[in-house]
Structure 1
Amino acid sequence: MIDDLSGLWLGRVWLPEARGPAVVTLRGGEVIDITAKGAATVSDICEMDDPAAFVRAAPGRALGDHAEIGSAAVGDLSVRHFLAPCDLQAIKACGVTFARSMVERVIEEKAGGDPARAAQIRIRIGGVIGDSLRNLQAGSDQAMRVKQALIAEGMWSQYLEVGIGPDAEVFSKAQVLSSVGTGAEIGLHPVSTWNNPEPEIVLAVSSSGRIVGATLGNDVNLRDVEGRSALLLSKAKDNNASSAIGPMIRLFDAGYALDDIRRAELALKVEGEDGFVLNGHSSMSQISRDPQELVRQTVGRHHQYPDGFMLYLGTLFAPTEDRDVKGEGFTHKIGDVVTISAPGLGALRNTVRLSTQCAPWTYGVSALMKNLAGRGLI
């Protein structure tokens, strides 16, 4: 789960004895509960002047080995298990931040969510675009020339506007406290028949817009739903258990910083109960907009997040490998196990179910506040 025990980690664990979450870090492979007044939530710590210094020095008590807690049954409220490492932060996401994923979004739209038509459209668009999007900087004069060329060929799309235009796509991925962590089930809306995982870096950002750390995320995507209409984005993105984040936030310090995120290489593995295996990757070096720029477009005088936010940065991964029917590409099957990993950030592992099969989300902000108050933490 965690691949670098020398890192400075921040996360959350369910405590059966407290009937609520603990804020935790890792020390020598042990999970340490550092929950305290003034540090009762991950959001509290991310808002501090120096979150890394606080976590490094915070007193705490050992809860057990991180591998043991990481392998516990998620959702079993009688055992300690990892939760998503964020709590009061808003869950935001950026879309179409990689040229390849932008092309796939255009294909989804042109195909009207029909995977059978997508292969033909993919060939046509490839002939028009070629390598013109390689190393293209969004919002540049060159990007505008490429946009005009695509419009002239009848290939304009709203996805091109956010993919290579001046304004990034930033949307609300999930509700506060609704994200699931590593080991949990992730949900697909039952109306979808064409969908896929999206392996992404997720930044932890304070209310002032300061990036304090990063983790991994799966922005579960319904290609057919969004492909029918961009106005269905919320239906395609925000469903029960459709946002996975974890395993823990790696706080930025002298040993790990934003430049490590800019160089990050994400690996994806999907293992189906039918024996199907899909491997993919996403290279942050190929992102069209710098992470800092995406944060600037998310928070500022135009929009505030008093408790901070988590920001999915988008993905290079766009699966085109056929799973069952030739020409229809990849789609999930119930029971798929999805593992997203990156050196220095560990691994996020989840099992695919329908959103209607996943445990309903019941532990919201009021439940958390009542629990913390009952424990004398606020």
Structure 2
Amino acid sequence: MKLYRSEKGIILEQDGRFVLSKHSDWDALVNQPNLHTVLQKEFESADTLVEKPEKLLAPLGTQEVWAAGVTYFRSREARMEESKESGAAVFYSKVYEAERPELFFKSTPSRVAEPGGKVLIRRDSKWNVPEPELTLFINSQHEIAGYTIGNDMSSRDIEGENPLYLPQAKCYDRSAAIGPCLWVPKSPIDPDAKINMSIERNWKTVFSGQISINQMKRKHGELVEFLTREMSFPKGAYLMTGTCLVPDNNFTLQVGDIIHIDIEGIGRLSNIVDMRS
């Protein structure tokens, strides 16, 4: 079952059929126990089909967005490479092997970019990349209730200069995008599910890559346990689970680039790159 937010309300999708939900409060709906069963019953009781909305909103209400780092080997290598001149490479190697994961705050809801909307690159950075990430929805009971696609925009030169600059490299307006939907399956996502990312520039593909989520070193439940160990989330939260596809070091995003991220079972999240003048 897929759950969309639109200007017309909350939309449910199953097998290519769409219905308008009777619920108007996103936070209340997604935090209901046994969410898949709740949505299934509502879908089956609906008597009118609707068209898929052309314009989608980000699938969140008042949820914060958090992120995990260095959860894939390739991410470990990339972080070590960008920070070798600062002498901080050893910290990324250590956190990859450590029991405690790297977790950081990514975005408030108001700063999140919607599907099809603009993501920003920083004016004071010369090395900007997208990071495609499977994103967990954690409900108020600290359960993984669904999944979406996340784009963790990052300024690699800023983080590489000094790890203490990570909040500036990661957290700014429209540095996060999630969507297109909240996918609420009956069972956990297939560990062999593929993540694909492509970047278009002037109608040409300048980057493409694919990886399976089973390449992640950490378990989803492990990340959730650390995030919720000393924090409550009364309305739930989103957790990006780490990057897996990293463009080469000579690549940086440009204004006008189009980023496509696909995850099996969820769909496609597309965003256009922009920068404030």
State the TM-score, normalized to the length of structure 2. Answer: 0.92
How far, CA to CA, are the matches of 2:22 and 2:93 in structure 1?
A: 45
Give the alignment partner of residue 228 of structure 1, picking from 146, 161, 164.
Answer: 161
Q: Does 1:305 align with 2:233?
A: yes
Question: Would the aligned equivalents of 2:10 and 2:20 in 1 still touch at CA under 8 Å?
Answer: yes
C-alpha distance after superposition, 1:4-55 (max 9, x if no partner): xxxx01121124xxxxxx222125535433143xx511x2122211111222
Deviations 1:329-365 (A, max 9, x none): 11111111110002211111111111x26xxxxxxxx
1:353 matches 2:277:
no
CA distance in 1, matches of 2:189, 2:11: 25
Task: Measure how far apart 1:274 and its partner are.
Answer: 7.1
**What do residues 271-329 of structure 1 show as CA deviations (whole Å, max 9, x unaligned)?**
112735211123211111011111111113x1111111001001221211xxxxxxx51
- Aligned to 1:53, which of 37, 54, 58? 37
User: 1:12 and 1:161, CA in 2 relative to 1: closer, same or farther beyond 3 A?
Assistant: same
Output the amino acid matched with 2:216: I
Partner residue in 2 for 1:329: 250
Alpha carbons of structure 1 residues 228 and 26: separation in structure 2 relative to 1, 3 Å: same
1:266-285 equivalent positions in 2, closer than 5 A = 266-273=195-202, 275-285=204-214
How far apart in 2 are the matches of 1:268 and 1:299?
Answer: 29
Q: TM-score, normalised by structure 1?
A: 0.68
The one-letter amino acid of 1:307's match is K
Q: Quick one: which of 4, 8, 11 aligns to 1:11?
A: 4
Residues in 2 aligned to 1:245 and 1:99: alpha-carbon distance in whole angstroms: 23
> Which one of 293, 305, 309 corresponds to residue 222 of structure 2?
293
Aligned length: 275
The residue aligned with 1:210 is 143
Identify the residue that residue 198 of structure 1 maps to in structure 2. 131
> For 1:106, which of 75, 80, 83 is the aligned residue?
80
1:338 equivalent to 2:259? Answer: yes
Equivalent residues in 2 for 1:106-255, closer than 5 Å? 106-112=80-86, 157-253=90-186
Structure 2: 5+ residue runs without aligned partners? none
Deviation, structure 1 residue 177: 3.8
Cα 1:33–1:166, aligned 2, differ >3 Å: closer, same or farther?
same
> 1:208-230 CA distances to partner (integer Å, 9 max, x unpaired)?
21001111111111101111111
Whole-Å separation in 1 of the counterparts to 2:167 and 2:181: 26
User: Does 2:47 align with 1:65?
Assistant: no
Contact 2:198 2:205 in 1 (8 A): no
| CA distance in structure 1 between the partners assigned to 2:116 and 2:89 by the alignment | 40
Q: Which amino acid aligns with 2:154?
A: N
Structure 1 CA distance for aligned equivalents of residues 77 and 212 of structure 2: 16
Q: Deviations over 1:154-204 (max 9, x none)?
A: 985221222111110111110134312211111111111111111110011
Q: Offset at 1:242?
A: 1.1
Contact 2:58–2:179 under 8 Å retained in 1: yes
Whether 2:21 is the aligned partner of 1:34: answer yes
- Indicate the SS of the match to 2:112: coil
Gapped runs of 5+ residues in structure 1? 1-7, 16-21, 71-80, 113-153, 321-327, 358-378
CA contact (8 A) 1:11 1:249 kept: yes
Runs of 4+ in 1 over 4 A off after TM superposition: 59-64
Per the alignment, residue 69 of structure 2 pairs with 95
The structure with the larger Rg is: 1
Structure 1 62/188 Cα, relative in aligned 2: closer, same or farther at 3 Å?
farther
SS at match of 1:110: coil
Structure with the largest fraction of helix: 1
Contact map agreement 2:115 2:179 (CA 8 A) in 1:
yes
8 Å CA contact retained: 1:87, 1:177: no
Asked if the contact 1:196–1:319 (Cα under 8 Å) also holds between the matched residues in 2, the reply is yes
Q: 1:179 to 1:14 in 2, by over 3 A?
A: same
Secondary structure of 2:68's aligned partner: strand
Separation of aligned partners in 1, 2:164 and 2:22 = 41
Question: Structure 1 residues 60, 207: closer, same or farther in 2, change over 3 A?
Answer: same
Task: Tell me the distance in 2 between the aligned counterparts of 1:56 and 1:177.
Answer: 29
Q: Is residue 24–residue 35 contact of structure 1 (8 Å, CA) maintained in 2?
A: no
Query: Is the 1:188–1:239 contact (alpha carbons within 8 Å) kept by the matching residues of 2?
Result: no
Measure, in 2, the Cα distance between the counterparts of 1:272 and 1:222. 19
